[in-house]
Amino acid sequence: MDYFAQQLINGFVLGSIYGLIAIGYTMVYGIVGMINFAHGDIFMIGGFIALISFLVLVSFGLTAVPLILLIVLLVSMAITALYGWTVERIAYRPLRHSFRLAPMLSAIGMSFVLSNYSQIAQGARVKPVPPIITGGYTLHASSGGFVVQLSNVQVVVVITTVVLLAIFTWLVARTRLGRDMRACEQDQTMAALLGVDVDRTISMTFVIGAALAAVAGMMYLLYYGLVDFFMGFVAGIKAFTAAVLGGIGSLPGAMLGGLAIGLIETLWSAYFSVEYKDVAAFSILIVVLIFLPTGLLGRPEVEKV
């Protein structure tokens, strides 16, 4: 039981990270109808920028950990958002009125560009960082000697995710930008007829998606203590799986799918085999696509008009 509880905690934390990335996939799909395969690499860029800004702050002699974390968070969100904006601008927007597969192919190309660029600029080796947040709580110690622990890193990851999701949900549901985004998702022509700058709204969607991916990248860095140029690939595909599982186009679905994939992967590793954890996650993708193509919270294609 204790072992299971520990795995639930671990799975929940991993799922938060997947969920943050999955939102970027699902938002972009909702508004422009393409799968942004470069989004996983945007997450990787976010991790690198978090690492670089962390090292810069430390070299300036800053020691207050909460302050460092806050600055690193904001810097990596801002710079990664700029990457997201640039990618949309140079690789997708010129192809918007081209055939349907064109932006997706461009996205796959962009994914290679970003990961190779990081490899050349930062080197191919895994970049470790010493643990920034240490300590934790013992929740339960059983007589068998197994201890259920909640580390401070896990607390930070979950709290940051929850806070950002709350801000994001408020933005989409209550602000003018959010309304414009939903209008573009539902009917771009009508949105334009009502004075919405569709191009700008799409740009903002990429910016917000990239900023959330940057948060995920920073959380990954804190949690695993390393980044490398290739980490965007597998994490990106997993988050994409999460978005499909939750129902592509659905924002709560992306978060729910992220948590589900995190839990499945963790529990599979804990009870079956660590080697096959990716197989478990991707089998879910296949099963969902076959039996539940609209996902858990997705809506069917047919709309009442």
Report d(CA 45, CA 117) in Å as an integer.
Answer: 10
The DSSP element (H or E) to which 258 belongs, if any, is: helix 251-271
Closest CA to 88 of 42, 21, 26, 49: 42
Closer Cβ to other proteins, 122 or 169, answer by number: 169
Closer Cβ to other proteins, 63 or 189, answer by number: 189
Give the three-class secondary structure for 247: coil
Give the three-class secondary structure for 149: strand
CA gyration radius, the chain: 19
Closer Cβ to other proteins, 1 or 302, answer by number: 302
Rounded to a whole number of angstroms, the minimum distance from the CB of residue 250 to other proteins is 11
Site residues for other proteins per CB under 8 A: 176, 179-180, 182-183, 186-187, 189-198, 303-305
Closer Cβ to other proteins, 127 or 182, answer by number: 182
Bridge partners (DSSP) of residue 226 are 128
Closer Cβ to other proteins, 275 or 303, answer by number: 303
Closer Cβ to other proteins, 87 or 191, answer by number: 191
Rounded to a whole number of angstroms, the minimum distance from the CB of residue 257 to other proteins is 20
Total residues belonging to the chain: 305
Residue pointed to by tokens 């560009």:
113
Closer Cβ to other proteins, 140 or 299, answer by number: 299
Report d(CA 149, CA 157) in Å as an integer.
Answer: 15
Closer Cβ to other proteins, 120 or 190, answer by number: 190
Within 10 A of 125 (CB to CB), how many other CB atoms are there? 9
Phi, psi of 225 (to 5 degrees): 70, 20
Structure tokens at 154: 């896990």
- Start-to-end CA distance of the chain, whole Å, equals 50
Rounded to a whole number of angstroms, the minimum distance from the CB of residue 88 to other proteins is 18
> Do 43 and 217 meet the contact criterion of CB atoms below 8 Å apart?
yes
Rounded to a whole number of angstroms, the minimum distance from the CB of residue 187 to other proteins is 6
Within 10 A of 147 (CB to CB), how many other CB atoms are there? 12
Rounded to a whole number of angstroms, the minimum distance from the CB of residue 207 to other proteins is 19
Phi, psi of 250 (to 5 degrees): -100, 120
User: Amino acid identity of 114?
Assistant: L
Rounded to a whole number of angstroms, the minimum distance from the CB of residue 99 to other proteins is 15
Rounded to a whole number of angstroms, the minimum distance from the CB of residue 101 to other proteins is 21
Rounded to a whole number of angstroms, the minimum distance from the CB of residue 29 to other proteins is 15
